[in-house]
Amino acid sequence: MRAGHRVLVEKGAGALAAYPDAQYEAAGAEIVSGIDLASIDILAHVTPLPAAAIARMRRGAVTIGLAGPYDDERVAALAAAGVTAMSFEKLPRTSRAQSMDVLSSQALAAGYRCVLEAAIRLPRFFPLAMTAAGTVPPAKVVVLGIGVAGLQAIATAKRLGATVAANDIRPDSAEEAHSVGATFIEVGLDAAEGTGSGGYAKSLGDDAAARQKAALAPHIAQADILITTASIPGRAAPRLVTHEMVAAMRPGSVAVDLAAPSGGNVEGSVPGKDVQIASAQGDGVVTIVGLASAASDLPTDASRLFAKNVENVLKLIVADGALNVDFADDIVEGMTITHDGVNRLVGPTAPPADAPAPASDEGKDA
């Protein structure tokens, strides 16, 4: 973006992600001690902007990032400030938009990281080991949610030598599980129960959810590691695993919940903490790992991917040295939640019941 534009980066912004100021300067950016939000045209950000920052922005400025479109007060503040806010959460799920899909790129990092978090806590080997002292069996891993994060978790666990079984409420996801080496766990749901519009997962009814839990319980009880990846932007994560299901795992087993910040797929998970519960299989505990922000634990590559997503959006709205937010473009139209003082979101702020379910499933073609 440096050709014809002035690019500002706040001093130390990339330090914790292993990107020193000198690298930004070498790429053509100016390092400044602070960003004067009242003077800039485009602000690229990661997490939703706080109210104080929104209030300082000039009317007509453009923001690009995870904007928090399901927060009514934040969206109202963006509209009141006259900001054109482009939200990655509202990016259309089309093939053309895949290079801009932050939910998928960050889910890729999260799926990889959650397996590593499990591996360092598990008091067993991941791979099969055949030695003169005896044979060590491979770890058994169960993954719930076969979206981008789930597929990456399966692939990473397989690379480490584990045997992996996986489930998703969309029966058609069995083929995706097989493609990365996992066994698909059948839970007896038909396509209509688990699949919503566009082929995405949808929320289950009480009866279907109970049947899913009953079918998954014996597989989880036999697993050394459980990984859950189902979250729904703007809504509480679906509760897939009960306290009793976790307690039925062997002592030393680990459950990693990627959805802990939004309520958790696993009962008892706490964002950013390890919670230990007694195992019903004997003396010892099962550890529930609530990851607060798994992608942030891999900041160098998560930032690299996020930056490319932002760059590809910028190419849509900046051309020939000028800013042009063209709503005739379906991606710009879909992403823009406020413009010229107007809240452009239509209908309820929370997704409908058949909205795309796991965040890791948002980019199903990825």
Residues with a catalytic annotation lie at 93, 98, 101, 104, 200
Handedness of CA 75, 76, 79, 80 (dihedral sign): negative
* Nearest-angstrom CA–CA distance, 248 and 256: 15
Separation CA 265–CA 257 (nearest Å): 6
Nearest to 335 by CA among 21, 69, 46: 69
CB environment 221-247: b (16+ within 10 A), e (fewer):
bebbbbbbbbbbbbbebbbbbeeebbb
Q: Which whole-number Å values give the CA distances from 121 to 110, 129, 285, 305, 333, in the listed order?
A: 17, 19, 12, 28, 45
As given in the structure block, the two tokens for residue 340 are: 């010229």
Give CA–CA dist 134/128, Å, rounded.
Answer: 11
Spatial distance between the Cα atoms of 270 and 299, rounded to a whole number of angstroms: 22
Cα separation, 5 vs 266, whole angstroms: 47
CB 331 within 8 A of CB 97: yes
Q: Is 208 helix (H, G, I), strand (E, B) or coil?
A: helix
Q: Which helix (H) or strand (E) holds 63?
A: strand 62-65
**CA–CA dist 198, 67 (Å, integer):** 24
Query: Using DSSP, how many helices (H) and how many strands (E) does the chain show?
Result: 11, 18
Q: How far is CA 58 from the centre of its chain?
A: 31
Reported residue count of the chain is 366
Residue 200 CB coordination number (10 Å) = 19
